[in-house]
Amino acid sequence: MTQTITKGYKVLLAEANAAIRTLTVAEAQALHGREDVLFVDLRDPREREREGRIPGAFSCTRGMLEFWIDPESPYAKPEFQQDRTFVFFCAGGWRSALAAKTAQDMGLKPVAHIEGGYGAWKKAGGPVTEGAPAKA
């Protein structure tokens, strides 16, 4: 039996983008390095190794986000229990839009995401730390 998807990724992204704050790269760069702002890198370890990192960003793979945010979870991380602005990013801005919406729905605030993600950040000349070579 073929599955019928009733709400595809385009609708999910449109809903997320309508509900969250989206930062341009320039706006995100203006926030980078502030103590009251935490950049959250949702990319998986292989992406970070291959493409590099935004200095000071906290790494949280998308699959663990809800568990790391919730203080009642056995996996809760103290980084998400602080009074800060959370700026999510991924490679191109899709996962981060969905993650920011989820985090906001959970009660985390304020949250935002970077339009175009890490790719746009790097292309615009934002500071990056090169990744380590991928392991065999």
pLDDT tens for the chain, 136 residues: list them: 899 999 999 999 999 999 999 999 999 999 999 999 999 999 999 999 999 999 999 999 999 999 999 999 999 999 999 999 999 999 999 999 999 999 999 999 999 999 999 999 999 999 999 875 544 4
Radius of gyration of the chain (CA): 15
Which domain, by its residues, includes 67?
Answer: 13-123
Is residue 85 one of the residues assigned to a domain? yes
Question: pTM for this structure?
Answer: 0.93
**130 part of a folded domain:** no
Distance CA 133, CA 98 (A): 29
Instruction: Provide the number of structural domains found in the chain.
Output: 1
Domain assignment of residue 2, yes or no: no
In a domain, 79, yes or no: yes
CA distances 71 to 3, 89, 103, Å, are 36, 22, 13
Retrieve residue 98's tokens. Answer: 């969905």
Exposed (0-12), middle (13-18) or buried (19+): which is 88, by Cβ within 10 Å? buried
Question: Residue 34: which CATH number?
Answer: 3.40.250.10
